[in-house]
Structures are given as C-alpha cells and as structure tokens.
Structure 1
Amino acid sequence: MALQHPSAPSRATSPVPRPTARSGVVHVNIRHTTRYTVVGNHLAQHRELSLLAIGLAVHIQSLPVGALVGIKFLSARFPESEHRIAGALRELEAHGYLERTRERLPGGKVVTRTVSYNQPGSMATPTPRPSRTPERPQRPTPAAPKPTPEATRPPAPAPTPVPREPLPEPHTLAPEHHRTAAALLAELHRHAPRLLLAERDVRHLAPAAAAWLERGAAPDAVRRTLTARLPDDLKHPAGLLAHRLTALLPPPLPTTPVAARPDPLQTCEGCDRAFRATEPGRCRDCRSDQRDAA
C-alpha cells in the first residue's frame, strides 16, 4: 500500500514559464472572458500622447454609453487636478481620440457631447464574421420611390452670422493704464492656469482692459471678474476674456463739476481796504457812502 501525503496538492500546478530574455519585460497573459476592453497599440504605444492622456483614453473607452466624462467628474474620480485632466483631454482631441461639442437643449441648458474613437480617422464598419451556413439567394432590390415635392425643395439658407460687438477702448491715451492692463492679462495664468494667453492675444485685449482701468476699476477687481467661474470645457481663453471685457464693462465715472473760482482781490480807491471784484474800483461801503453824499 502506497503512503499518503495529506499536505501534497490534489494535482500538479502548471509552472509559470521562465523568462527567455535577459532583460526587459516578460508577459504572463491570461485570456479574459468577461469585463475587458480591447485597446489598439496605436494608443497604448502612442509616441506623442502623455501617459495621463493614454490612461484617460483607456478609461473612457472602457465606460458604458452615457457615462459622465466631464473634467470635474474625472478630477473627483482620479487624483490628478482639473488642469492636468483638461490638458489630457485636449491631447486626445488633437489626435482624434475624442470629439467634444456643446449643444443647447430645448429647455435652454447647454450640455457637452463627448464622442470617443478607438481608431481615429477610421469610420469603417466592422467586418462581419464568416458564416458556415449557405448563403440565401438575394432578393431583387425594389425600385427606389420617386422623390416627393418636399424632398426636391432647396435647402434652407444658412442663418446670417451675428456680428460680434467690438472690444471697448479707452477714451484717452494713458500709457500707464496700457502697461498695467497688459501685465494683468499676461499674469492671469498664475491665478487661473487655463487662462494662459499668447503674446498677440495680450496685445489684442490690452486696450479693452485699459478701458476698465480708465473707468476706475482696480486691477484686482478686473482680475477677479475675468477669472471667476470658468467653464469646464474652456477651449478658447482669449475669446472668453474678450466676451467678459465687453459684456461686463463698468459704467464711466461721474464727472465732478468744477468749483467756481472767487473774484480776485482789489484795493479800494477810497479807503485802501481789500475787497473782491472783477475790476478795480471802490468797495461796497465806499460806494454806499458815495451814493448817500450824492
């Protein structure tokens, strides 16, 4: 009778194959059967995307339809800041992995529609799997119906674009206001990183900010107004600042009336006393005495 070993495993386990390469990664792959996502190497090994953008693309591709992928939601889900997540989303948009558009609902609310592409630039339909069953004979294609009068109508003309309101400008040329306005705009990204402006945008917006300073607005007040409550999907910082500088322009300061200057001092020809009058002559008392004597 053979000896029994209670501590021995019920069956031999398959040993993990030892690496054959002297250096580098070795893969131990186990086939997934549930809860998996297929990701192309064009994304996983992309040479221009950052690691954050690649990981964010994989996360978005693994989500079901209708899942939230806003900047605030992602920053609450992951440890990265809103600024870094916004930059990664812009990377994915630039390389065709994401498309974000803003739409206005019938109730007036504006929402962001996000479309994820697992193969940018390819809109081909999936290739059907080969079938072992014999193909059925194709039926003759019915003739296309004749177009109705409504279908032959010409397309409606495109709406006329609404002209943009010009940027405000200061009434007086004050170099000090212009220098302060340009420095304020150039340093906005220190208070709101998403408001990083190009040099030409600073030159374009500086006169509008100088108009605020001319109307008595303090630089701190202008900065708070421009950086307050920025939208999550900010794509064009210069456009947003141009809108705020135009739409929120404060009223001009009220003009202060100039006080009337007093008449100059004159020396009375009768008593040598000083009095105020527009022309030399006699004071009031001397004029009274002269009238009484007459």
Structure 2
Amino acid sequence: MADAHLNAALPAPAHPQAKPGYGKRSAPDQRPRGARDFAHLRTREAAIAAYIDRMPEGTAIGYKALAAQLADYGQQACGKALNFLSEAGHLRRIKEHLQLDDNTFRWVTHTFFSRTPREDDWWRTFVESMRGIDLTERARRARAAEATEAGDVGDTGDVEPAPPNPAPVAPPAAPAASPAPSDAYRALQRLGRAEPRMTLSAAECAALEPLVAQWFARGATPQHLTRSLTEGLPPTLHSPGAIARTRLEKKMPPEPIQERAYVDRVVMVCIGCDVPDNVSPLINGVCVECREEMTAYDAAEEAGIVIDRVPDTFRRVPAQVDVARRADELRAAAGLKARPLARPTHSEVPGGCETTAH
C-alpha cells in the first residue's frame, strides 16, 4: 500500500553525520533490497524506512535530523514513525559501554536498522552477542578490508604487453650515498659522551645495533638505554663492547602489553525516550509510556483528528499549537488517562490574563 510513496524519500546522500561512534548501524544478515521491502507499513513509516535504508553508516537517525531532511514530515511525525518502525521490527536503539585501549570508558548510542523485519527475540539475541566484542580486532579487520578494496580498484583486467624496446644505455653510475645511521646505531655511538670508558668502535656499534633496536621497539628511550649501559660499571673495563652486549641482553625491557578496546556492557533503550530496558521493560524496543502514546496516536488518526506533521520551520506563519493540550486530546481519544496539565500562572500569560487554547 505504500509502494507509490517510497521514491519520494530516496535517496539520502546529504543526510548529516552523527558524532563519531554514534548514528546508524546496519543489522547483519539482511535480505537484498527489493521494491516491496516496506509494503507492509503505512505510507509515512514506509517512506521514512526507505529513506533510512539508504542512509550511509554513521548518519544521524534521530527524529530532529530526519525532520530537517524530510519536508513532508515534522519532528512529531518522524518521532512517532521511529516508534512504529521499532514495533514492526526494523529498528532498535542500543547503548554500548566501551572500555578503550587507554583504559578510559564511554557510552555510545547506535540505532540499528534492519531492512528485514526481526522478531523481538532476534534483537535481544543480537544485543547479547555484542557484549565482549573486541573493538581493536574489528578495527584492524576493517582497515585490512579497506586496503584490499583499494588494491582491487587498480586491477582492470588483462593488459596487452607493450612491444619490446631496445634497452637504453645506462649512464655511468654515481657513487652510492651511505645510508643514514639508525637511531639505535647513533645511541651506541653517543655512549662515549656519557661515559668515556664505554666508547665503542664502529664494528661494535654495528654488531649491537639489532639489540638496541629491540629496546626501542619495546618502548625504551635513548636516555633509558644510556643509563642502563653506563651506570654502576666496575672500576676496570677491559671490553666495553662485551659489557654492553651483556647488559643489553640481560636488561632487555619486557614486551609491551597491548591494551585492547572492547564492548564492556550493552543496553537496549527505548526508541522514543531512551529509557534503558533494565529500568523500564521494553516490548519491541518501546517502553510502556511510549506505547501508550503510540496507541493514542493511532486512535486519533482513526477518529479523523488531524495531526500536524509539518514543522513550523516550513510554515510562513508558525502554527499556534498547545502541544501539551494536544497530547492530552490524543490520549483521551485513545481512552487513556489524561496527564495533569500545568495551568499557566498570571505572570506567564501575556497581558496578565489567562487564555484558553483553541
């Protein structure tokens, strides 16, 4: 029933990106994209779902960002549509608690989208599977995949070999420049400045260079190396090269511990109000109070109550709508208990007179 309205929402190339680590994520194992992916949804939800489906990874997927891009729907309509897409199994909002490789922690929020509608049990199993994910390894694999794809770009198939050309006559070779000494070699070369008795020959520096390179690879600094090789020496030195080798081997720093980033905890939160499921039970990703609002929204539409879906930013003259009273009317239309409305005080009403919204 919504097929005719899908193209109006496509494509979504200019949608703003979320903050790094946030935004849209695609759920795994989805079926290929088809013309009737969202035919089971109402027109509004189908159009917004088709738009989200084509949004790149990491784009902002909140109702405000959607309303700013979709002129046909305001913030209220987009927010309710996200609730209904969660109810239909296409969306879940998930908070991940990360322990990073520098031993700091932070929460990130992703909205996972599935073109294929999923049952609530599938989403809960998916959330459980995220706990303990090694983010360091995942990032390494992503970089490797990007490098592989970049390498494939230059592969254009078989190339006909060029005809052979006579080998050019090489000009006389210039004298080869000596390679610059490594940091390890220079550190050994400078030992004699800190302790003249530890002055090493060029041959000794070259022979000990690989050991010093291992020190530096394990995080040692030139100052650390110099102290280790020059402090506490015996009164008489017969072979500074032998003493340097013994100390380099016996005092070798340990291999550095590679801290890894991983997902410490995972919490599913309500798509409408972000309340976590360990605070308020969620059904299909929606909490009890937001589900009541969904029921009121449905009842209002069935009763023919016009729900403003165009934001004021798209109007020449902003609509004068009492949002709290309109929400109360929707709840009443659904037979739900009305929430108490705060009455404006004398100072809050222009001119000092109490007014009634119509």
With the length of structure 1 as denominator, give the TM-score of the two structures.
Answer: 0.30
Structure with more relative contact order (C-alpha pairs < 8 Å, separation 6 or more)? 2
